[in-house]
Each structure stands twice: as structure tokens, then as C-alpha cells.
Structure 1
Amino acid sequence: MEEMSRMKRKKQQLTNIHDDVEENLEEEVHPSDDSHFPTREDFHEYKKQRTKKVRNPLFTTLAIIFPIIVIGVFFLLIYYTSEEIKHNNNQDVYIDKTSSADTDPVQSALVETKNDSSAGKADASDEEKKKKDAEKEKQRLKEQAEQKKKEQAAKEKAEREKAAAAKKREEQQLALQKQQEEKKRKEAEEKKKQEEKPVRVVQHTVGPKENLYRISMKYYQNRSGEEKIRAYNHLKGNSVYSGQVLNIPLENE
């Protein structure tokens, strides 16, 4: 009701101001001196400016009051919300204290016993796990040592086989060298014997269509005489010509 009466008073004040403005306008528009008469456009423009000047203070006041009201309502909402949250927190704390006070001692003892049993089982499990880990590590080290031993044995075996193969190759080379030397020695002895044997030389005149093969077969009955004839006569090849005289070395019987 008070708000409505205040609004009515403001409305009445505005009406009075408007009437005063109208009277002033009429006095200004219709002066006693008839020498000057404004146009209709000038009258309306003047009226609009006066009305605007009168209304501006009211709008300014309303623009200031409205944000203040909004801010006040906002702070009130924040205050009541915080009070409600505090009340709920206090109630929760009270419920927790009551429930903890009503806890059964026997139940607490059972819980503690259960916790101790669980801790003991956990310790036993840890010990068992450590023991298994130690056994696994021991087994791993043992296997590693055995593997290393096998690798060492295989390495030594490979080295022995390599040394035996090298020794065998060396023996084979020595045997081959010995055989070659023995062969050379026998050839030298045979050659020496041939040289020491008494020989007789027969001169042979090469006939038409004769060669070293036919001459060797004639005197030696085999092809071994070709080399003897060639060496004794200092021939470089197997070529002979008709009429050539060759010395044929023959062993004495």
C-alpha cells in the first residue's frame, strides 16, 4: 500500500509539472505582443525539448535504483544458501558421532583380529614369495653355470678338433713331401744306374717315312727309347728327316 501511494504521489507531481509546462508554453507561444508568431514546427520542437528536460531526472533515478535492488537480492540469496550448507554439515557431523558412539566393542575386536590375521597372511605370503624368488634365482644361476660349462666344453672340443685337423693336414703334407722326395731319389738312382751301365752306340740313318717311334720300336721294342734317342742326340722335338744320322745308345748284354 505504501508503494502504491508513493507511485500516486509521483504521478501527481509529474502531472503538475506537465501542466506548468503547458502554461509556460502557452505564455511563450502567445505573448501579449502580437508582433511575433512562431511556426507549428517550432512549437512542437520546443515542447519536446521541455518535456525531455523534465523526464530525464526520473529516468536517471530509476536507472540507479534498479541495479542496487538486483545486487541486494543476489547477496541475500548467497547468504541464505551458505547458512543452509552450514546447517547440513553440522547435522552430518552429529550423525557420524552418534553412529561411532554406538559401535559394538566386540565387533571392533573382531575387526581388529581379522585385520591382524590378514596382516599375518600377507606377511606369510610375502615370505613365501621371497623364498620362491630365491629358489628361482638359485635355479637360474645354476642353469647359467651349466650353460657356461657346456659352452666352454664345446669350445675346447672345437679347438681340439681344429688342432687335430691341422696336425693331420701337416702329416699328410709331410707324407706327400716324403713320397715326392722318395720318388725323386729313386729316379736319380735309376738315372745313375743307367749312366753307370756300359753302353754301345749304333749309328742309324733315318730312312724315308721313318720317325722316332719306329726307330724306338726297332731298337728298344717300346716307346721308352724315344726319350733316350732324343736326349743322346740333343733333339728338341720329335722331328727327324730322311738321311739324318742318329746315334742309338744300347745297353751291353
Structure 2
Amino acid sequence: MNRVQKSEKENDQAGELRSRVDRHKAKSLPKRSKIHQNKKKKSKVKFKFPIIKALALFFILLPIGFYSLYSYLQKLPEHDQKPNPIVIDNSEDAKEAIPTTATASDLKDNDEKDSSKADAKKEKEEAKAKAEAEEEKQKAKEQEQAKKKAEEKAQAEQEAKEKAKAEQEAKEKARAQQLADERAKKEAEEKQKATQDVQAAKPDKDEYKVVLHTVQPQETLFRISMNYYKSQEGIALIRQWNGLNGNEISKGQVLKIPIKK
């Protein structure tokens, strides 16, 4: 009896648990009408902008189409392809595009052209080097000439300075000589004039008698003049008759004393 009750009880619990699960599922799952309504909304959103979808598809297919076209053109036979043009540039860094369908003769012609271009380039470089050497030589020559002219100019200036200095010295020397001559002439004239004055002032000897006087110790011309003339006016007369330049006399010297008759 206990087992039956226990099993019934367990069945009741299982049934209750199933009912709970069903209720929970019923609550969590949406209704079927709601699901269909959501699908319709999604389909409407998808087909609302068909132009954008077409443009996106076009941009996706565009590079694929270009790549397919490029691959197709690469697989065409060689005689259908046109040779690439040859581009010739006259500059030093010129490059020539070689056609894809070049033959042996074309390659030979290209080699000859490259050789002639190399020779022309070499000749051009040699001519340029020669021109530069000539230019350097001409420049050195011009510098040498300029240096020579500068030296000649400096020498001419030095000679001109020396000449001017010599002329100045000659002028100064002539001026000094002229001044010396004028001074000597003036001195001679003054001397002659003094002689003439002395001669003019010299009295006539016939009017005087001469007395010889011997100079005593500590005796002067002033004292002698006072003894003979009673004044100092006789000093000039004594000096004149004895040829004295000053008043100095010495002991024992004999002087001529002129006395009027």
C-alpha cells in the first residue's frame, strides 16, 4: 500500500513538473502569428532599396569582369597582338621600349643603336671634358694676365711714388740751397755794411795821438776810459783802435789809447 501511494505521489510530482515546463515554454515562445508578422517586415526591409543592392552587385562584378577580359586578351595569339610602340627620348636618361614581337634583326638593330648611343655619349663626354679643360686653361691664363697687370700697376705706382719723392727731395734741396744762398748773401751784405759803418765811424788818425797803456791787474776798460777820458764814452774808442769785440782784456796787454791833439 505504501509503494502504490509513493508511486502515485511521484507521478503527481512529475505531472506537476511537466505542467510547469509547458507553462514556461508557452510563456517564452512567441505566437505563430507574431512570427509570420516579423517575417513580412523583414522581407519588406530587404526589398525596400533594390537600387543600392544592384549597385553593390555591379561594383562586385566589375573587377571580376576586368580580370576576365585581361585574361582573355593575354590568351590571344601573338599575331593578333599589336607591337608596343618604341619611345625614343633625346635626353641622357632616355629609355627605349622594346616590342614584345621583336625579331633577331630588331635586337641587332637595337644593339647597334645602343652602341652608337654609347659612342655618341662617350664623344659628348670627351668633348665636354675637353671644353672644361680649355675653359680652365683660359681661366688660368686670364688669372695670370690679371696678376701680371696688377704687378705692373703696382710697379708703376711704386715708380711714380719714388719719382714724386725724388722730385720733392730735389725741390726741398733746391729750396734749402736757395735759402742758404740768400742767408749767405744777406750775411755778406750785413758784414760789408758793418765794415763800411766801422770805416765810416773810424776817426782820422791825424787828429789823435796814441798812448800805449799796459793793462794792470784787475784793470778794466771802464777804469781805463775813466782815467784817460773821464767818462765811459772812451770804451768804444779804445775797442775800435785795438780791434776788440768785447770788454775783456788781460793783464800785461798793451792797448792803444787815442787822445785828441
Q: TM-score range by the shorter chain?
A: 0.3 to 0.5
If asked which structure has higher relative contact order (CA below 8 Å, sep 6+), I would say 1
Decide which structure has greater helix share.
1
- TM-score of the pair, normalised by structure 2: 0.41
